[in-house]
Amino acid sequence: MDLSRVFFTGNSTMNLERMPNEEKLSLCRRYYLGGFAFLPFLWLVNVLWFFKEAFLKPAYTEQPQIKSYIKKSALGLILWVAVLTTWITIFQHFRARWGEVGDYLSFTIPLGTA
Amino acid sequence: MCVSSAAGVCSSSVEQKIYVELNETVPCVRLLNATHQIGCQSSMSGDTGVLHVLETQSDLDWILSSGPHPPYMVIMETAFFNRSVMMRMKNSSRVSGVAVIVSKTGLAQNFSPHTTCPNQNTGVYGSELANCNVTVWNPLGNGLSYEDFSFPVFALKDENQTQVIRKCYEDHNQRVNGSAPHYPLCAMQLFSHMHAVTDTVTCMRRTDLQNRFSINPEVLCDPLSDFNVWTSTRPLNSSAKGHAANESVVIAAARLDGRSFFWEQAPAAEGTVSGIITLLAAIQALYPVTQEAPPPRNIFFTFFQGEAFDYIGSSKMVYDMEKNDFVIDLKNVHSILEIGQVGLHSGRSLWMHSDPVSRKNDSVNEAVSEMMNRMESAAAGLSVSVGHPSFSQPLPPSSLQRFLRAGPIPGLVLADHQKSFSNRYYESMYDDAENLNVTYPPGLTPDEQLVYETDAAKSLAEVATLVARSLYLQAGGENNSLSNITADPKTVAQLLYGFLVQKNNSWFRSLLLSAGPGPPQFYIGLGPRIHGPVHSVTRFVQYILANLTGTVTNLTESQCQNPSELSTENKDLFSYFWVSGPASVNSTGEPFCVRASVRLSEAVSPAFELLEYGSRNYSTWTESRWKSIRARIFLVASRELEVMQTKTQQNC
C-alpha cells in the first residue's frame, strides 16, 4: 500500500481537488474500515474531511458510496462518543466509592483526595 | 524572576518583597488507621485567606457569618482552641485555615485533645468493660486530635513571629468603628498537602500499586514505628529466642511516647516522663543490690514506644513472645508491674490498679494480692502510701492489657489517680514541666538547674524507691536488703531537667552527641525507615540506662564496635556503647567504651508484618507523607490579585 495515500507526509497535500474520484473513494473506504479497529478518530477525520465531498459538491459517480461511508462513519462516531462520555462520567463520579476496584482501574491516582 | 546566589539558595527579589515566610510553625498532619483518617489537610497549592484574629465572640460571628471577605484565615487565641469553636469552623465554608497561638495566657483550666476513653478497641476488655462503662479515664478529653479537618491547622509557637502577624493584622485588617476594612488586606497562605487519604488499607494498597506499576513510585504513607528499650538484672542471651530455661521473670514496664494535636509536639510530662524517670531511677537504685545479693527471679525492665497509638510497642513484644521470637516467652513471665502516670500524687497516695477479669481465677487473684501486699510493705518506711481502687474497676489504658490478651498474668498498674486521670492536659502540648510543678528559682545557670532538686524530683524519687523495693520483693529478694535500695534524688533531678526542660545539657552531652535546644518531644515518629537513626528519646533512654547500669571497659573504639573478636567480651549478653565522656571547661571529654545489657527491640505493629492493614487486633496507625509544609503572609490588593498571588511559587 502506498503510505503516502493514507498518511499524508512531506509534500503531499490534503487537497482533494486534484485527486481523481476513484482515489477519493478508496481513501474514504480505507478510513472507514480502519475505524473498526477501535480507532474512532479515523471516523472523525473521515467525516470532517469528506463532508464537503459527499454532500456539498455536485454529483458524480462515486459520490453515493462516499455518502454512505460518511454516514456510517458518523454513526459509529456518535456511538463511540456516547459510550466514552457515559463511561468517563461514571468513572469520575464513582471511582472513589469503588475502593479497590477503582484503584486497580486507574492509571494515576490523585494524591491526597479520595 | 529567579536569581541563584553563590550559596546555591535561590532568591527572588520580587518574591521577597511580597511574601514574608513564617519559619517557626508546627503543622497538624494526617494520620490514618484501619478505618478512618484524622488530622488536617490543605489543598495542593495551599489554602489562602484574609487574616482575622479571633479574640472575642464578635470576632467569631464576623468570621462565620458577617465578614465581607471570606474565606478567612483564623488566628486563634489560646482560649478559643476548644471543641465547640473548632467544630463550628469545620462546618463552615468561610474558614480556609486556622493558626493557633500557643501560649499560657488565656489557657483554660484543662485541655485534652485526646479521646475520653483512650485505646478502647485494642485493650483486653470486651463490650462490658471497654468503652469506659465503669470509669471514664479521660473525662476532660474533647477528642479534637481524632477529628478530620479539611483545612490546615498550624500552631504558632514563636512569640516574635506571632507579633509580626499581629502587626500585619492591626495595620490592615482591623475593623474601624465596626465597619469592614478595605483592601489591601493582610492574607496568609498555609501549605500542608497530605498524600494519603481514606484509611491505611487504601493508602497501603495504592503504595503497592505505585511500586509495582509506576515508573516513578511514590510512597503515600508510612507506619508509625520505632524501638522499645529493654534491659534485665541478669543478662539474657539475645541470640537464644523462645522459652528461656529456668528463667522466671518479673517485668517492670513504662511507656516511652506521647502525642498532641500537632505533629511532633508531645512534651508528655505527666503522661509519660513521670513513668520513664521513675523506672530509670528505680533501675539505678536496684542495680547494685541485685549484683551483690541477687534475688531468685530475674527482673526485666522495658520501655514501650508507641503506646499512644493502640499499643504499638507492647503488642509487638507480646507478638514476638508468642511466636518464640524474643529472648523470653510468656511462660517465663511471673508477674508484671507497670508504672503509669505517677507525677501528680503530691502527698496523696498512689493506687495499684488490677484487672478484675483475670482475678476471677483463684491463683491469679492470690498472686495479685501477694503483689499488693509486697508493695504495701515496701511502702512502709516511705512517705508515699499505696491503696487499691475498687475490685470491679478495670485497668486503665496500659501495656499490661496487651499481655493479658495473651493469657492471665498477675499484674499491677501503679498510678496517681484512683478513678479518672489527675492529668488535666493529657496528651496535649500543655502537659509540660509546669504541669508537673517543675520550676526552678530564677538566676540559676543551666548546669545549676541540671542538679537542682525540685520538690517534684524528691517526690518522684520516693515513688522510684517504692517501685524498686517492691520489685526486689516481688523477685523474691530478702526483706533485710530493702533499706539499701534508695533512689537518688539527684539523678531524678537531672532526668527531670533533661527530659522536661533542656535536652542539650552537660550530662546528656557526655553520653552522646549533642541534640537541639529545648525539651525532647515524645512523638513516636516514623523511626529508622525514614529518619535514619533511632528516635532521639529512645536513644537517650538507651544511653542513660547504659550509663546507670553499665560497666566501663578499657576497649578501644574499634574493639567497642566489634567486641566479638575478644574472648572476654560477649556480644550475645551485652551491648557495647562508645560514649563521649564528661566535658570540662578545659577540654572535651575522653571517650570510652561502656558494656551494658541494654538492648533495643523493634516496635512496629504486627499488622504490618502480617500485612493485615485492616486488622482489628493490632495497631494500624500510619502517618501520611507530604511534599512541603510552610506558611507565608502577604498583602492582597484585591480579590483578583489574591488568586494570582497565591499561585506564585518559587520556581527554583
CA distances from B45 to B68, B313, B630 (A): 24, 37, 11
The C-alpha of B128 sits at a distance from chain A's nearest C-alpha, in angstroms, of 34
Residue linked to cell 508510612: B222
Q: Where are the alpha helices (DSSP H) in B293-406?
A: 312-322, 362-378, 400-406
State yes or no: pLDDT of A54 exceeds 60.
yes
Task: Enumerate residues 6+ apart whose C-beta is below 8 A from A112.
Answer: B41, B44, B193, B194, B195, B196, B197, B624
- Chain A residue numbers with beta carbons less than 8 Å from the beta carbon of B203 are none
ipTM above 0.90, yes or no: no
Task: Report d(CA B495, CA B498) in Å as an integer.
Answer: 5
Query: In this structure, what C-alpha cell is assigned to residue B106?
Result: 488565656
Place B2 in a pLDDT band, splitting at 50, 70 and 90: very low
Residues B218, A100: C-beta atoms closer than 8 Å = no
Portion of chain B with pLDDT greater than 70, in percent: 95
Q: What is the average per-residue pLDDT within A50-55?
A: 84
Query: In this structure, what C-alpha cell is assigned to residue B407?
Result: 493469657
Residue type, B21: E
Q: CB burial class (10 A; 0-12, 13-18, 19+) of residue B136?
A: middle
CA distances from B408 to B354, B375, B400 (A): 12, 20, 10
Contact predicate B609/B11, CB 8 Å: no
State yes or no: pLDDT of B586 exceeds 80.
no
Place A6 in a pLDDT band, splitting at 50, 70 and 90: low
Residue linked to cell 518559587: B650
Task: Report d(CA A105, CA A114) in Å as an integer.
Answer: 14
How do residues B190-211 score in pLDDT, each as one tens digit? 999 999 999 999 999 999 988 8
Residues A104, B209: C-beta atoms closer than 8 Å = yes
pLDDT of residue B274: 96
pLDDT of residue B35: 94
pLDDT of residue B494: 95
How do residues B347-370 score in pLDDT, each as one tens digit? 788 999 999 999 999 999 999 999
pLDDT of residue B511: 86
According to DSSP, the residues that pair with B21 across neighbouring strands are B632
Task: Report d(CA B620, CA B251) in Å as an integer.
Answer: 26
Q: What is the average per-residue pLDDT within B594-615?
A: 94
Q: Which of A42-56, B60-74, B126-140, B637-651 has the lowest mean pLDDT?
A: B637-651
State yes or no: pLDDT of B512 exceeds 90.
no
How do residues B296-341 score in pLDDT, each as one tens digit? 999 999 999 999 999 999 999 999 999 999 999 999 999 999 999 9
Lay out the sheet containing B592-596: strands in order across: B551-553, B592-596, B575-579
Strands (E), B530-646: 551-553, 575-579, 592-596, 599-604, 622-624, 626-636
Size of interface A-B (CB pairs under 8 A): 27
pLDDT of residue A12: 47
Q: Which of residues 208-237 of B touch A (CB under 8 A)?
A: 209, 214, 218, 220
Residues A112, B197: C-beta atoms closer than 8 Å = yes
Query: In this structure, what C-alpha cell is assigned to residue B620?
Result: 494500624
Task: Using CB atoms, pick whichever of B194, B209, B214 lies closest to residue A103.
Answer: B209
Q: What is the average per-residue pLDDT within A47-65?
A: 85
Comparing B645 with A3, the larger pLDDT belongs to B645
Q: What is the average per-residue pLDDT within B1-12?
A: 43
Comparing A63 with B466, the larger pLDDT belongs to B466
How do residues B539-548 score in pLDDT, each as one tens digit? 899 999 999 9
Task: Report d(CA B357, CA B372) in Å as an integer.
Answer: 17
Query: In this structure, what C-alpha cell is assigned to residue B172?
Result: 490592615
Residues A103, B193: C-beta atoms closer than 8 Å = no
Comparing A60 with B442, the larger pLDDT belongs to B442
Residues A109, B209: C-beta atoms closer than 8 Å = yes
Kindly identify which residue of chain B lies nearest to residue A97, measuring between CA atoms.
B198
State yes or no: pLDDT of B592 exceeds 70.
yes
Is the bond preceding residue B184 a cis peptide, omega within 30 degrees?
yes
Residues B196, A104: C-beta atoms closer than 8 Å = no
- Chain B residue numbers with beta carbons less than 8 Å from the beta carbon of A102 are none
pLDDT of residue B602: 92
Residues B44, A103: C-beta atoms closer than 8 Å = no
Q: What is the average per-residue pLDDT within B588-617?
A: 91
Portion of chain A with pLDDT greater than 70, in percent: 88
According to DSSP, the residues that pair with B424 across neighbouring strands are none
Task: Using CB atoms, pick whichever of B41, B205, B209 lies closest to residue A112.
Answer: B41
Q: What does pTM read for this prediction?
A: 0.90
Kindly identify which residue of chain B lies nearest to residue A110, measuring between CA atoms.
B195
- Chain A residue numbers with beta carbons less than 8 Å from the beta carbon of B624 are 112
Q: What is the average per-residue pLDDT within B480-497?
A: 93
Query: What is the Cβ-side half-sphere exposure of residue B420, based on CA atoms within 13 angstroms?
Result: 16
Average pLDDT taken over every residue of chain B: 90
Residue linked to cell 499499643: B311
Comparing B449 with B648, the larger pLDDT belongs to B449
The CB-based long-range contact list for A46-51 (8 Å cut-off, 24+ gap) reads A46/A70, A46/A73, A47/A73, A47/A74, A47/A77, A49/A14, A49/A16, A50/A16, A50/A24
Q: CB burial class (10 A; 0-12, 13-18, 19+) of residue B281?
A: buried
pLDDT of residue B98: 96
How do residues B548-564 score in pLDDT, each as one tens digit? 999 998 888 888 888 88
Q: Which of residues 49-108 of A touch B (CB under 8 A)?
A: 99-100, 103-104, 108
Name the DSSP letter for residue B64.
I
pLDDT of residue B566: 79
- Chain A residue numbers with beta carbons less than 8 Å from the beta carbon of B218 are 111
State yes or no: pLDDT of B597 exceeds 90.
yes
- Chain B residue numbers with beta carbons less than 8 Å from the beta carbon of A99 are 202
The C-alpha of B194 sits at a distance from chain A's nearest C-alpha, in angstroms, of 5
Residues B44, A112: C-beta atoms closer than 8 Å = yes
State yes or no: pLDDT of B532 exceeds 80.
no
Contact predicate B529/B545, CB 8 Å: no
